């Protein structure tokens, strides 16, 4: 099968920060790429018993962006503001979810740009502060896992493949 969406991984290798952020951006891009060209119905289509769908994955990643960067790193948001579910209400458009994704990423990137990799989170993670380096590595791996789920869902929807 031809990989119609295949792109090379980043080649950034100038320093730790540049490399880490290039891979974080790449994983975000890989996830969102799986939504391109699909209808609202296709984005919401459930194809696995867990109920996971492409739009729900994006919504879940939005919450993760805000949880880790705004809440833990910057200390801006309260715990009760977070809903990690993948259930997107029918009255919430896919365009709104995708716009919110780009806004959340821009907010995260602004926090990261203003923070040293060695800086500790404003709020602890499981009772211990973590470095921004740890948060970036964690978020990259988390989004990569969800992008893999999106790969499978997209292939099931219309046969599109590739990272």
Q: How far is CA 143 from the centre of its chain?
A: 5
Question: DSSP of 106-141, one letter per residue?
Answer: HHHHHHHHTS-TTPBPSS-BTTB--BHHHHHHHHHH
Distance CA 82, CA 124 (A): 16
pTM of the model: 0.91
Predicted confidence at residue 28, as pLDDT, reads: 97
Residue with tokens 């978020």: 139
Instruction: Encode the chain (163 residues) as per-residue pLDDT tens digits.
Output: 455 656 777 676 889 999 999 999 999 999 999 999 999 999 999 999 999 999 999 999 999 999 999 999 999 987 667 889 899 999 999 999 999 999 999 999 999 999 999 999 999 999 999 999 999 999 999 999 999 999 999 999 999 887 6
Distance CA 18, CA 117 (A): 11
Distance CA 30, CA 40 (A): 19
Cβ atoms within 10 Å, residue 145: 11
What domains appear along the chain, each with residue ranges and CATH number? 36-158 (1.20.120.450)
């Amino acid at each position: 099968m031809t990989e119609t969406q295949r792109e090379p991984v980043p080649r950034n290798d100038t320093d730790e920060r540049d490399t880490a952020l290039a891979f974080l951006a790449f994983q975000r891009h890989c996830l969102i790429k799986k939504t391109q060209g699909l209808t609202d119905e296709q984005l919401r289509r459930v194809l696995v018993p867990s109920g996971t769908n492409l739009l729900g994955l994006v919504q879940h990643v939005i919450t993760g962006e805000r949880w880790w960067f705004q809440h833990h790193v910057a200390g801006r948001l309260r715990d009760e503001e977070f809903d990690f579910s993948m259930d997107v209400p029918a009255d919430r458009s896919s365009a709104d979810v995708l716009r919110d994704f780009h806004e959340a990423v821009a907010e995260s990137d602004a926090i990261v740009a203003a923070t040293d990799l060695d800086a500790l989170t404003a709020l602890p993670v499981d009772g211990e502060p973590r470095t921004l380096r740890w948060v970036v590595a964690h978020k990259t791996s988390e989004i990569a896992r969800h992008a893999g789920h999106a790969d499978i869902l997209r292939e099931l929807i219309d046969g599109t493949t590739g990272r």
